[in-house]
A and B are shown apart, each in its own frame.
Chain A
Amino acid sequence: MSRQGYVELGKQMTAATSPITRLMWRFPPYRWSIVLMKRLGVTGRTAVIAMPYLWLLLFFLVPFVFVLKISLAEALIARPPYSPLIEWSEETYLTIRLNIANFLFLIEDDLYWKAYLNSIKIAGISTLFCLFIGYPMAYAMAKATPSTRNVLLMLVILPFWTSFLLRVYAWIGILKNNGLINNILMGLGVIDEPIVMMQTDFAVYVGIVYSYLPFMILPLYANLERLDNSLLEAASDLGCPPTKAFLSITLPLSLSGIIAGCLLVFIPAVGEFVIPALLGGPDTLMIGRVLWDEFFSNRDWPVASAVAIAVLLLLVVPMMLFQKFQAKEAEGQT
Chain B
Amino acid sequence: MEQSSHSGSGLEPWNDPDAKPYVRIDGVTKKFGEFVAVDNVSLDVYRNELFCLLGGSGCGKSTLLRILAGFESASMGKIYIDDVDMEGIPPYERPVNMMFQSYALFPHMNVEKNVAFGLKQDGLNKAEIAKRVADMLALVQLEPFARRKPHQLSGGQRQRVALARSLVKKPKLLLLDEPLGALDKKLREETQFELVNIQEQTGITFIVVTHDQEEAMTLSSRIGVMNNGEIVQKGTPSQIYEYPASRFVADFIGSVNIFQGRVVEDEADYVRITSSEAGCPLYIDHGVSTVAGAQVWVAIRPEKMTVSKEKPASEDNCTHGTIDEIAYMGDLSVYHVLLDSKKRVRVTIPNLTRTGSGRFTWDEKVYLSWQGSSGVVLTS
- Among the stretches B103-111, B129-137, B272-280, the one at the interface with A is B103-111
Residues 117-132 of chain B, each 1 if its beta carbon lies under 8 Å from chain A, else 0 = 1100110000000000
Give the complex CA separation of A235 and B165 in angstroms: 11
B91, A231: Cβ atoms closer than 8 Å? no
A234 with B104, Cβ < 8 A, contacts A240-B92, A333-B151 known: yes
- B4 interface contact, C-beta 8 A: no
Question: B122 is contacted by which of A239, A241, A333 (Cβ under 8 Å)?
Answer: A239
Give A234 to B166 CA distance when docked, in angstroms.
9
B97 touches A237 (CB 8 A): yes
Looking at the complex, which one of A234, A237, A252 makes contact with B108 (CB distance below 8 Å)? Answer: A252
Task: Assess whether B106 is in contact with A233, with CB atoms less than 8 Å apart.
Answer: no
Q: How far is the CA of A325 from the CA of B78 in the complex (A)?
A: 50
Q: Interface on chain A toward B: helix, strand, loop, or mixed SS?
A: helix
- CA of A253 to CA of B105, assembled, Å: 12
B interface residue count range (under 10 / 10 to 19 / 20 to 34 / 35 or more):
20 to 34
A239 contacts across to B, CB distance below 8 A: 92-93, 118, 121-122, 169
A332 to B149, CA, bound (A): 9
User: Are A233 and B100 in contact, with the CB atoms below 8 A?
Assistant: yes
Interface bin, chain A: 20 to 34
The answer on a CB contact under 8 Å between B92 and A236 is yes
Neighbour of A228 across the interface among B91, B97, B104, B165, CB < 8 A:
B104
B258 at interface, CB cutoff 8 A: no
Chain A positions within 8 Å of B151 at CB level: 332-334
B150-183: CB near A (< 8 Å → 1, else 0) gives 0100000000000001100100000000000000
A237 in contact with B98 given A252-B108, A334-B151 (CB within 8 Å): yes
Q: In the complex, how many angstroms separate the beta carbon of A334 from the nearest chain B beta carbon? A: 7
Q: Distance (Å) between the CB of B16 and the closest chain A CB?
A: 32
Contact check, A240 vs B97: say whether CB atoms are below 8 A apart.
no
Contact A238 B102 (CB under 8 A): no
Specify which chain B residues have a CB less than 8 angstroms from the CB of A244 in the assembled complex.
121
Complex contact A228–B102 (CB within 8 A):
yes
Q: Inside 8 A of B93's CB, which chain A residues have their CB?
A: 239
The distance in angstroms between the C-alpha atoms of A236 and B66, with both chains bound, is: 12
Contact A238 B96 (CB under 8 A): no
Of the candidates A238, A252, A333, the one whose C-beta lies within 8 Å of that of B165 is A238
Does A249 sit within 8 A of B, measured CB to CB? Answer: yes
Assembly CA distance A230 to B90 (angstroms): 16
Inter-chain CA distance A231–B93, complex, in Å, is: 17
Asked if A233 and B91 make an inter-chain contact with CB atoms under 8 angstroms apart, the answer reads: yes
Question: Nearest residue in B to A253 (C-beta to C-beta)?
Answer: B108
**Looking across the interface, which residue of chain B has its beta carbon closest to that of A230?**
B104
B245 on the A face (CB < 8 A): no
From known contacts A237-B97, A241-B92, infer whether A230 and B102 are also in contact, taking CB-CB under 8 Å: yes
A256–B351 alpha-carbon span in the complex (Å): 60
Quick check: is B71 within 8 A (CB to CB) of the other chain?
Answer: yes
Report how far A236 CA is from B118 CA in the complex, Å: 9
User: Contact at A235–B100, with CB atoms within 8 Å?
Assistant: no
Q: Which residues of chain B are near A237, meaning CB under 8 Å?
A: 69-71, 91-92, 96-98, 166
- State which residues 63-114 of B face A: CB under 8 Å: 69-71, 90-93, 96-98, 100, 102, 104-108
B100 touches A230 (CB 8 A): yes
A240 to chain B, nearest CB (A): 5
Verify A238–B118 contact, CB threshold 8 A: yes
Chain A residues near B106 (CB, 8 Å)?
Answer: 231, 234-235, 249
A228 vs B105: C-alpha distance in the bound complex, in angstroms? 10
The smallest beta-carbon distance between A75 and chain B, in angstroms, is: 54
Shortest Cβ distance from residue B153 to the other chain A in the assembled complex, whole angstroms: 13
Knowing A253-B108, A332-B149, A332-B151 touch, does A236 contact B165 (C-beta < 8 A)? no
Cα A333 to Cα B122 with chains together (Å): 30
**Chain B residues, CB < 8 A from A333:** 151
Give A230 Cβ to nearest chain B Cβ, in Å. 4
Is the beta-carbon distance between A240 and B104 smaller than 8 angstroms?
A: no
B121 near A233: Cβ-Cβ < 8 Å: no
List of A residues within 8 angstroms of B91 by Cβ: 233, 236-237
A240 and B122 alpha carbons, distance in the complex (Å): 9
Question: For residue A228, which residues in chain B have a CB less than 8 angstroms away from its CB?
Answer: 102, 104
Contact A238 B121 (CB under 8 A): yes
Which chain B residues lie closer than 8 Å to A241 at the CB level? 90, 92
Closest chain A CB from B3 CB (angstroms): 38
Neighbouring A residues of B90 by C-beta, 8 Å: 236, 241
Q: How far is the CB of A241 from chain B (nearest CB, A)?
A: 5
Does the CB pair B107–A253 fall under 8 Å? yes
CB distance from A252 to the nearest CB of B (A): 5
Return B106 CB to nearest CB of chain A, in Å: 6
User: In the complex, which residues of chain A have a beta carbon less than 8 angstroms from the beta carbon of B122?
Assistant: 239
Q: Which residue of B lies closest to A239 (CB)?
A: B121
Minimal Cβ-Cβ distance residue in A for B69 = A237
Please indicate the chain A residues that have their CB under 8 angstroms from the CB of B97 in the complex: 237-238
* Cβ contact within 8 Å between B104 and A231: yes
Cβ-closest chain B residue relative to A242 = B92
Query: Is A235's CB under 8 angstroms from B117's CB?
Result: yes
Q: Which residues of B contact A238 (CB under 8 A)?
A: 92, 97, 117-118, 121, 165-166, 169
- With A239-B121, A241-B92, A332-B151 known as contacts, the answer to whether A233 contacts B104 (CB < 8 A) is yes
Question: Contacts A233-B71, A332-B149, A333-B151; is A240 near B121 (CB within 8 Å)?
Answer: yes
Chosen A-B contacts, 23 in total, with CB atoms closer than 8 Å, are: A228-B102, A228-B104, A230-B100, A231-B106, A231-B107, A233-B91, A233-B98, A234-B106, A234-B165, A236-B70, A236-B71, A236-B90, A236-B91, A236-B92, A237-B70, A237-B96, A237-B97, A237-B98, A237-B166, A238-B117, A240-B121, A252-B108, A333-B151
Interface positions of B (Cβ within 8 A of A):
69-71, 90-93, 96-98, 100, 102, 104-108, 117-118, 121-122, 149, 151, 165-166, 169
List the 8 closest pairs (A to B, CB-CB), nearest first. Answer: A238-B118, A239-B121, A234-B104, A230-B104, A236-B91, A236-B92, A237-B98, A240-B121
Further 8 A-B residue pairs, CB within 8 A, beyond A238-B121, A240-B117: A230-B104, A233-B91, A237-B71, A237-B91, A237-B92, A238-B169, A239-B93, A244-B121
